[in-house]
Amino acid sequence: MKPRFKKILSMLLGIGVGVSVAASAWSEPTLQQVMKARGLTQKDLLAAAETYTPTGKRDEYIAFASGGQQGGVMVYGIPSMRILKYIAVFAPEPWQGYGYDDESKAVLAEGKVHGKLITYGDTHHPALSETNGDYDGQYLFINDKSNARLAVIDLKDFETKQIVHNPFFQSDHGGTFVTPNTEYVMEGTQYPAPYGGKYVPLSKFNEKYRGGLTYWKFDRKKGRLDKSQSFVFELPPYSQDLSDAGKLASYGWGFTNSFCSERYVGGDMQGRPPFEAGCSSKDTDYMHVTNWKKAAELVKEGKVQKRRGMYFIPIKQAVKEGLLYLIPEPKSPHGVDVTPDGKYIIVAGKLDSHVSVFSWPKIQKAIKTHDFEGRDPYGIPIIPMKDVLHTQIEVGLGPLHTQFDSKKCIAYTSLYVDSQVVKYDYCKGKVLDKIDIHYNIGHLMTMEGDTEHPDGKYLVALNKLAIDRFNPVGPLHPQNHQLIDISGQKMRLLYDMPVPLGEPHYAQAIKATKLKPLIRYPFGWNARANHKSRWRTRPGRERIVRHGTRVDVYGTVIRSHITPEIIRVNEGDTVSLHFTNLERAEDETHGFAINGQNVQLSIEPGSTVSATFVADRPGVYPYYCTEFCSALHLEMEGYLIVKPKNYKAQTVSLKHGVVYTKADYDKQVATNMKTQAVIDKVVRYITSRNYKDYPQVVSLMEDATDQLNFAKGARKKAEAAAAKGDWQNAMLWANQWWQYQVKTADIGLRAKTYLDQHGAHKIK
């Protein structure tokens, strides 16, 4: 802050010029001193330099990781490994007001399961929307394994917009994966169950329990999944696991693996060996190969019937139409990952020490030539594994999931049991490097690693409970995401990031420059429904409207007050609050909480947010802004007064706590006049510069203009009261007038600083 402007602001607040600080001799520690004191090696220092991101600098990639049983999505920067946001998806989160305001409650209600509100999710695999096989930065999808649900997050504002429940499935570990233009979002079941979760005894497991694979149609224009245009493949009661969509060479097809193709049902308390024994006894399980493009054509041609509101493709039809094949794959596979060129499908089977590289041209050939080794018990043709394998590579113990490099033929696979990442050439079938991780890696992620054009550079190992890596925080440990440099021939460990909440299962990282989120919402926006809110309220149009026992409060928030400040209702009324944030500055989010009603809102600039509750207990309930918004933030308060039934009002007027005189008023007005002179000076400074070239400053100037208009309004009221000799109101309005002036000056100063720092010049 420049001294001159500090002086201006100091004047505004009625103080002298800031004291000058004596410049005295001092010295920083040297790098060598710090390294010695902290026990850092040269390797550590290099890693520090490769990850440390100074104030204001940006990360190169943004990662979106599932929160696991936390129910949301974690967003962090790479290489700094700093967590930027947890996006609430399936579980309510009060900071974001998610699950506490009416708009987000409606999103959560969409995700009801058989009529029950579910307030958690087990999120596993986030998928960024793609255009031509590359991430486009527009949307993010994520599944809830335990309740067979998917959610859509809009990356314009990083908010959850939609939750859908699969009417067939009872679990969906295998979601989400997108086709190369986000035509469809793939969701596979995990644990077989009767469709719709209907009651069927376990004795009919083979006959009546089923797996499945849903291709959800994505309507990009609306930013919503369209259930009515989606289709479901009936699949046998194997435990389907992960999927991946084909690309380029294999465009139009999808690949879904499975475990427990033994169709084993445990029952340890009935004397049966447990699931883990029966589900891991065969040497191979099945990869499912599905032709979604042809299925979509059949749907279009009206050849697929609807069930439960979606198109449903029975196994029989799928087989008949050539939409569905099986390929044996080694023991209990997890990841099935299509190479960037779409020519190979790499399967990592956790009870096998190899990765198996399947050749898409060979699979295609087998399909064309009907090279089948028979059919499974459900009639699905089985393609012989040996005929379509490109190679198998012995990589180590517990291989799980594979990601790709920018370099041709280079892949990385996580080794859960070995606690390692292996790098190899899948064309030549040769292991190139291994690196130890800490510990028990699940998935791994390279930069844009699921696209047709991976970026290489970094790899993140998504490790499980960190045990000893960090300072201990009790029996429930954080996870550990380790950043690994993969730009050279050998992998190098750069950074350990604890995950403070949840257990991410998978993540995707996108080039940061592809994300262009909103700075503020259009005026009166319902951010969940993505349209103007019917409850939006302009300043000065605030009102309380009663219909019977329903009371709608059309309110506004702007620093530093909530309108209305007093809400009076009757015991038993249904109160619906609707607040529009009138701010134009991007960091002027306001919160709103009210005592005892379970209402906590986050109202970002421009948005309109509602909360509805029944005022069932007479009493006095303070409310206030929960986001530290301004110097007078604590004064941003109000009272909900709930009058008891049959209460007889007495006409007593409130006594003043402090009585003001003409002298108080005159003193305040004198201050205000001086303040206005300063504001005029700041405005002259800004308007004499090319400020219109800076959208952020234009936005601040709009905000300043708002505040100045409010100041004018307060001044009018002050002068009107003074004219009547009402010094109490005259003084208070004069003070309010000054409050608006201070805000104007504050914004002006921010705008001025911005111009100075960004090289604005005088206009002629």
Closest contact distance (angstroms) between CB of 676 and a copy of itself is 17
Say how far residue 737 (Cα) sits from the centre of its chain. 40
Interface stretch with a copy of itself, choices 316-324, 358-366, 430-438, 684-692 (CB under 8 A): 430-438
Q: Which of 335, 318, 309 is nearest to 257 (CA)?
A: 335
Write the CB contacts of 116 (distance below 8 Å, at least 6 apart in sequence).
Answer: none
What residues from 283 to 322 belong to the interface with a copy of itself (CB under 8 A)?
none
The phi and psi torsions of 292 (rounded to 5 degrees) equal -75, -30
- Residue from 732, 751, 755, 760 in contact with a copy of itself (CB under 8 A): 732
What residues from 123 to 142 belong to the interface with a copy of itself (CB under 8 A)?
none
Eight-state DSSP code of residue 653? P
- Strand ranges inside 2-147, DSSP E: 61-66, 73-78, 83-87, 127-131, 134-144
Contact status: 526 vs a copy of itself (CB under 8 A): no
What residues from 10 to 29 belong to the interface with a copy of itself (CB under 8 A)?
10, 13, 15-16, 18-19, 21-22, 24-29
Q: Which is nearer to a copy of itself, 604 or 706 (CB)?
A: 604
Closest contact distance (angstroms) between CB of 224 and a copy of itself is 19
Contact status: 636 vs a copy of itself (CB under 8 A): yes
Contact status: 723 vs a copy of itself (CB under 8 A): no
Q: Which of 55, 89, 61, 104 is nearest to 483 (CA)?
A: 61
Closest contact distance (angstroms) between CB of 434 and a copy of itself is 6
Q: Which is nearer to a copy of itself, 659 or 763 (CB)?
A: 659
Closest contact distance (angstroms) between CB of 76 and a copy of itself is 8
Q: Helix/strand/coil (H, E, C) string of 326-371? A: EEEEECCEEEEEECCCCCEEEEEECCCCEEEEEEHHHHHHHHHCCC
Residues 232-271, mask of contacts with a copy of itself (x by CB under 8 A): -------x-x-----------------xxxxxxxxxxxx-
Contact status: 760 vs a copy of itself (CB under 8 A): no
Q: Which is nearer to a copy of itself, 200 or 248 (CB)?
A: 200
The CA-based angle 593-594-600, given to 5 degrees, is 35
Say how far residue 225 (Cα) sits from the centre of its chain. 17
Closest contact distance (angstroms) between CB of 581 and a copy of itself is 10
Whole-angstrom distance, CA of residue 369 vs CA of residue 30: 72
Whole-angstrom distance, CA of residue 690 vs CA of residue 685: 10
Contact status: 608 vs a copy of itself (CB under 8 A): no
Contact status: 652 vs a copy of itself (CB under 8 A): yes
Eight-state DSSP code of residue 267? -
Q: Which helix (H) or strand (E) holds 116?
A: none
Contact status: 403 vs a copy of itself (CB under 8 A): no
Interface stretch with a copy of itself, choices 143-151, 175-183, 213-221, 404-412 (CB under 8 A): 143-151
Q: Which is nearer to a copy of itself, 228 or 653 (CB)?
A: 653
Whole-angstrom distance, CA of residue 405 vs CA of residue 423: 10
- Residue from 221, 302, 566, 695 in contact with a copy of itself (CB under 8 A): 566
Q: Which is nearer to a copy of itself, 76 or 360 (CB)?
A: 76
Q: Which is nearer to a copy of itself, 2 or 453 (CB)?
A: 2
Closest contact distance (angstroms) between CB of 626 and a copy of itself is 4
Q: Are 355 and 347 in contact (CB under 8 A)?
A: yes
Whole-angstrom distance, CA of residue 140 vs CA of residue 126: 7
Closest contact distance (angstroms) between CB of 684 and a copy of itself is 22
Contact status: 118 vs a copy of itself (CB under 8 A): yes
Closest contact distance (angstroms) between CB of 764 and a copy of itself is 30
Closest contact distance (angstroms) between CB of 148 and a copy of itself is 7
The phi and psi torsions of 540 (rounded to 5 degrees) equal 90, -10
Amino acid at 157: D
Interface stretch with a copy of itself, choices 4-12, 320-328, 682-690, 699-707 (CB under 8 A): 4-12
How many residues does the structure list for the chain?
Answer: 764
- Residue from 39, 302, 374, 695 in contact with a copy of itself (CB under 8 A): 39
Q: Which is nearer to a copy of itself, 47 or 367 (CB)?
A: 47
Question: Parallel, antiparallel, or unpaired for β 566-570 and 637-643?
Answer: parallel
Q: Please tell me the count of residues contacting a copy of itself according to CB under 8 A.
A: 254
- Residue from 8, 66, 89, 92 in contact with a copy of itself (CB under 8 A): 92
What residues from 665 to 704 belong to the interface with a copy of itself (CB under 8 A)?
none
Contact status: 84 vs a copy of itself (CB under 8 A): yes
What residues from 45 to 74 belong to the interface with a copy of itself (CB under 8 A)?
45-59, 62, 67-71, 74
Write the CB contacts of 85 (distance below 8 Å, at least 6 apart in sequence).
Answer: 74, 75, 158
Helical axes 695-723 vs 727-757, angle rounded to 10°: 160
Closest contact distance (angstroms) between CB of 182 and a copy of itself is 20
What residues from 357 to 376 belong to the interface with a copy of itself (CB under 8 A)?
none
What residues from 447 to 506 belong to the interface with a copy of itself (CB under 8 A)?
464-465, 467-478, 482, 487-490, 492-493, 496-498, 500-503, 505
74: β partners: 65, 86
Q: Which of 205, 206, 236, 399 is nearest to 326 (CA)?
A: 236
Whole-angstrom distance, CA of residue 583 vs CA of residue 731: 26
Contact status: 191 vs a copy of itself (CB under 8 A): yes
Residues 296-324, buried b or exposed e (16+ Cβ, 10 A)?
A: bebbeeeebeebeebbbbebebbbebebb
